[in-house]
Structure 1
Amino acid sequence: MRIQKHHPRVEKTGQSAARVWLRALRLHFVLPSILPALLGGVMAWAGGHPLNGLHLALVVIGVTVNHFGLNLVDDVLDYRHTVDLQIGGEKNFFTGGSGVLPEGLLKESRMLTAAALFFAATAGIGIYLAWTCGWPVLALGIFGMACSIFYTAPPIRFGYRGAGELGLLVNFGPVILLGSYFVQARSLAYEPLIASLVPGLLMASMILINEIPDYEVDRRAGKWNLVARFGRKAGAVLYGIGLVSAYGILILSAAAGVLSPFVLLGLASLPLAFKSLFILCRHLNDPLAMAPANLAIIKVHALTVTSMVAAYLIEVLIAAQAFIC
Structure 2
Amino acid sequence: MPSLLLWVKVSRPKTLIASVAPILVAVKNFSDNHEVNDLSLIVLLGCLSFITLVQISTNLANDYFDWKRGADRFRGNAPERLVTTGKIEGKKVLTVVFILLILSFLVGVVTLYISSSSIWFLPLGVLCIALAILYTAGPYPLAYNGLGDLFVVLFFGLVAVEGTNYFLSSANSVPYEMHLGSAISIGLLINNLLVVNNYRDYESDLKVGKNTTVVIFGKKFGALLYLVGFLFPVFHGYYEKKILVVLILTTSAISFIFLLKSHLLKNANRALSFSALSVLIYSVCWML
| Distance in 1 between residues matched to 2:84 and 2:74, nearest whole Å | 7
Aligned counterpart, 2:19 = 33
Q: Is the 8 A contact 1:129 1:137 kept in 2?
A: no
Which residue does 1:48 correspond to in 2?
Answer: 34
2:247 to 268, 293, 301: 268
Range with greater deviation from structure 2 (67-76 or 150-159): 150-159
Alpha carbons 1:39, 1:177 under 8 Å: kept = yes
Which residue number in structure 2 is paired with residue 188 of structure 1? 176
Q: Give identity over the alignment, percent.
A: 21
User: Is 1:159 matched up with 2:137?
Assistant: no
Q: Distance in 1 between matches of 2:193 and 2:11?
A: 17
Note if contact 1:86-1:99 (Cα within 8 Å) is conserved in structure 2: no
* 4+ long deviations beyond 6 Å: none
Aligned to 2:203: 216
Instruction: Write the distance in 2 (CA, Å) between the matches of 1:104 and 1:284.
Output: 26
| Total equivalences in the alignment | 280
**Equivalences for residues 157-306 of structure 1 within 5 A:** 157-186=141-170, 187-191=175-179, 193-252=180-239, 254=240, 261=241, 263-281=242-260, 283=261, 285-306=263-284
Q: Is the 8 A contact 1:219 1:228 kept in 2?
A: yes
Are 1:138 and 2:126 counterparts?
no
**Which residues of structure 2 form unaligned runs of 5+?**
none
1:143: Cα distance to partner? 3.0
By how many angstroms is 1:50 displaced? 4.0
Q: Deviations over 1:246-273 (max 9, x none)?
A: 2122222x1xxxxxx3x32222222111
One-letter code aligned to 1:59: C
Tell me the CA shift for residue 85 of structure 1: 4.0
Structure 1 equivalent of residue 84 of structure 2: 102
Does residue 123 of the first structure (1) align with residue 105 of the second (2)? yes
- 1:53, distance to aligned residue in structure 2 (A): 1.3
Q: Residue 4 of structure 1 corresponds to which residue in structure 2?
A: none
* 8 Å contact from structure 1 (residues 92, 288) kept in 2: no
Return the letter of the residue paired with 1:36: P
Q: Give 3-state SS (helix, strand or coil) of 1:290's partner.
A: helix
Q: Which whole-Å deviations, capped at 9, do the CAs of 1:293-320 have from their partners, x for residues lacking one? A: 2221111111111221x22xxxxxxxxx
Paired with 1:225 and 1:92, the residues of 2 have a C-alpha distance of 16
Counterpart residue type for residue 156 of structure 2: F
Pairing 1:63-78 to 2, within 5 Å after superposition:
63-78=51-66
Shift of 1:285: 4.3
Larger of the two Rg values belongs to structure: 1
Q: Deviations over 1:174-230 (max 9, x none)?
A: 100111111111253222x22111110112222112111111111111110111112
- Work out whether residues 168 and 200 of structure 1, in 8 Å CA contact, stay in contact via their aligned partners in 2: yes
The CA RMSD over aligned residues, in Å, is 1.9
State the distance in 1 between where 2:224 and 2:265 align: 17
Runs of at least 5 residues in structure 1 that lack an aligned partner in the other structure: 1-14, 255-260, 312-325
Amino acid at match of 1:226: T
- 1:177, 1:196 within 8 Å by CA — same for their partners in 2? yes
- State the match for 1:148 in structure 2: 132
TM-score, structure 1 length as denominator?
0.80
Please give the TM-score of this superposition, normalised by the length of structure 2. 0.90
2:78 paired residue among 89, 92, 95: 92
Alpha-carbon distance, 1:86 to partner: 6.2
| Counterpart residue number, 2:4 | 18
Q: Distance in 2 between matches of 1:154 and 1:165?
A: 18
Q: 1:137 touches 1:183 (CA, 8 Å); kept in 2?
A: no
User: Which amino acid in structure 1 is aligned with residue 49 of structure 2?
Assistant: I
